[in-house]
Chain A
Amino acid sequence: MNELPLLTYSDLVQSDRVHRSVYTDPRIFEMEMDRVFGSAWLYLAHESQLPGVGSFYATRMGREPVIVMRHSDQSIQVVVNRCAHKGMQLVADGESGQRPALRCGYHGWIYDTDGRVKAIPAEKGYQGSAISRACSDAQLRKIGAVHSYRGFVFGRLSATGPDFFEWLGPMQSSLDNMVDRSPTAAIEVAGGVIRYLHYANWKFFVENTLDALHPMVVHQSVTRPGSLLTSELADHGIEQPADLSMIAPFGGSYGFYDEMGQRAVPFGHGDLGEKTSLHSGYSTGDEYFRAMVARYGDTEAKRILGVSRNNSVLYPSVMFKAPVSLVRVIKPVAVNRTVLETWHFRLVGAPEELFKRTIRYSTIVNSPAGAVGPDDHEAYRRLQSGLEAHQSNWVLLARYPDKSEGDSGATLVGPGTSDLVHRNYYRAWLRYMANP
């Protein structure tokens, strides 16, 4: 390893390029866990996963194992998944269920659903020590802050930092759109979660999500045979099957993706598909549209369905795909290892066809056995190994320069294939890293 710190964070992140070590240096990864994942709001769960008192879900916030729980006063509590006694994880990562209390499987300490210790076995033995049921060291540690917005539960590890709405900013409209697409304004987690292990730095996925310059190259392996098949079927008078129409837009031209537009929002957030998206051409069906009009009125229903943001990133941990009702959660494991989770949502009250489409889309596009995901993953693997090379240090973010950029806190829009959103990621990254 090189000696640190010959380069400062502001040397690593320049206005139109970043140093390769932000993807490859394990020490930088550790600092990211402290400073980026330690102080940003991270997506944790959806409230439909916590239907009743004692419902819980164990997840991670960067390196920290946490338990998201529904307490007896209906509030959502998030505690560090670590017994106050000897430090054992109370629940396995990814586990969910419903229990009146959490009992440590090692020495039997029992905690209430807000993390307060209820029972310490053979408690007498602590008499005269600093430990009692009343002392803070005997409680499960709470994270810094929790905020649930329209069913999406976010947490922040640090006790201080931006308020949730300050952090969310104009991305509120992207989250709203995910929920407003339901004719009852309610959505629920359903259909299983895909957990895809990537041998690459977490930032490659975040960046790829708003990278409109890659689909027509990386996914040509499936769009090329897909368009050949489509035209062969057309020769027989057969319309393009739905599965092929889901795949076809990945082969869109640079012009198509530029036209789609992008939006860069303070705190590193962004959308791809400010104007149109891969999913713009999806038909909604009469029954669904009527249900939407009944709820929102004609104008508002059309406005909601007209928002077609392909991907919306709430930096650094989550991507929302509102038109397809799915969420992808980014869980860094190590500098070169990341788990991506894909969660699916049912629009409560909408025709079941919409949910089936969500499931079909994810089966085809998000699976580690599919014809799309593994090629993205292979790109990240090769980025990881390419950036290990020492002969050249820089990753370029120079496309579509915009003179109005800066740390002004303004929301900017640009052509879909612009590096604006990428420069915006790194402005936020630098702010987190350099100002802990």
Chain B
Amino acid sequence: MNAPEDLETALAVQQFVAAEAELLNRGDWKAWLTLFSADSVYWMPLSPDQTDWESQVSLLCDDALLRELKCRRWYDRHHETGAMSLKPDIRSLRLISTLSVSSLSGRDGPELLASGGVTLAEFSRGEVRTHFARVTWRLRRNAASFSILEKRVDLLNAQGPLSDIVTYF
């Protein structure tokens, strides 16, 4: 067990992940990208006990380059050549619950670990698709707030069969 964090820090982390979710809810992916550190990974493993993304396949393992690529794909979605899976448009909502915050000593200094259940609802063409996951954020404090070192999304039904997930948790 990691040490539980003091209330003030826990509240600040809670506000940070809520603000992060809100950027995605609004479709402001450009602003969302800035929350991540340069060598960070958004990771959606295939199995809950997975420890790496090189020896086991993942549903997503997006470093800064792939996040940038997906972000551009997102903003291109209304273009004629845009992604069919993102048309005519998609709205999404993230509900975060049971968030716990603890501290740990990372390789390059102190880190915070936040973990909670997240529901992602994606609305498109008259249908709402819901996805459930345990999301774990590894964060580092920076001057103003936090930066994300890793965001791990353990999808409840990662082992499937599962259908499309076209936005980020």
| A interface, CB within 8 angstroms of B | 190-199, 218, 220-222, 224-226, 228-229, 241, 243-244, 247, 339, 342, 344, 355-356, 359-360, 362-364, 366-371, 373-375, 377-379, 382
B167: nearest chain-A partner, CB-CB: A369
Partner of B161, one of A195, A225, A370, A371: A195
Q: Give bound CA distance, A312 to B50, whole Å.
A: 31
Given A195-B160, A196-B161, A198-B163, are A224 and B81 neighbors across the interface (CB < 8 Å)?
yes
Q: Give bound CA distance, A241 to B44, whole Å.
A: 21
The tally of residues in B whose CB lies under 8 Å from a CB in A reads 37
Q: Which residues of B contact A193 (CB under 8 A)?
A: 57
B108 at the interface (CB under 8 A from A): no
Q: Which residues of A contact B73 (CB under 8 A)?
A: 221-222, 225, 371
Q: Give bound CA distance, A220 to B72, whole Å.
A: 12
B166 at the interface (CB under 8 A from A): yes
Given A225-B72, A229-B72, A244-B69, are A218 and B84 neighbors across the interface (CB < 8 Å)?
yes
Q: Give bound CA distance, A241 to B70, whole Å.
A: 15
B76, A221: Cβ atoms closer than 8 Å: yes
B165 at the interface (CB under 8 A from A): yes
A366: nearest chain-B partner, CB-CB: B57
A197: nearest chain-B partner, CB-CB: B161
Q: Which residues of A contact B165 (CB under 8 A)?
A: 368-369, 374
Q: Which residues of A contact B58 (CB under 8 A)?
A: 359, 363, 367
* Nearest CB on B from A187, distance (A): 16
Per-residue CB proximity of B47-79 to A under 8 Å, as 1/0? 100100111111111010110111011001100
* Nearest CB on A from B85, distance (A): 4
Partner of B84, one of A194, A244, A362, A379: A379
B66, A364: Cβ atoms closer than 8 Å: yes
Q: Give bound CA distance, A367 to B84, whole Å.
A: 16
A223: nearest chain-B partner, CB-CB: B81
Partner of A368, one of B81, B82, B163: B163
B53, A363: Cβ atoms closer than 8 Å: yes
Q: Give bound CA distance, A194 to B46, whole Å.
A: 8
| B interface, CB within 8 angstroms of A | 44, 46-47, 50, 53-61, 63, 65-66, 68-70, 72-73, 76-77, 81-86, 159-166
A195: nearest chain-B partner, CB-CB: B160
A355-B55, A374-B83 are known contacts; what are 20 more A-B pairs with Cβ within 8 Å? A190-B55, A191-B56, A192-B56, A195-B159, A195-B161, A221-B77, A221-B84, A226-B69, A339-B160, A359-B55, A360-B61, A363-B53, A363-B59, A368-B59, A368-B163, A369-B59, A371-B70, A371-B83, A374-B166, A375-B85
Chain A-chain B contacts (Cβ-Cβ < 8 Å), number: 123
B76, A363: Cβ atoms closer than 8 Å: no
Q: Which residues of A contact B81 (CB under 8 A)?
A: 220-221, 224
Q: Give bound CA distance, A228 to B165, whole Å.
A: 25
B164: nearest chain-A partner, CB-CB: A374
* Nearest CB on A from B152, distance (A): 14
Given A194-B57, A196-B160, A368-B163, are A377 and B85 neighbors across the interface (CB < 8 Å)?
yes
Q: Give bound CA distance, A220 to B163, whole Å.
A: 21
Q: Give bound CA distance, A196 to B81, whole Å.
A: 25
Pull 29 A–B residue pairs with CB atoms less than 8 Å apart, ordered by A: A192-B46, A192-B50, A192-B56, A194-B57, A196-B160, A199-B163, A218-B84, A221-B73, A222-B69, A224-B76, A228-B72, A229-B68, A229-B69, A241-B65, A244-B69, A355-B55, A356-B54, A359-B53, A359-B56, A364-B66, A368-B164, A369-B44, A369-B166, A373-B164, A374-B85, A375-B84, A377-B163, A378-B84, A378-B164
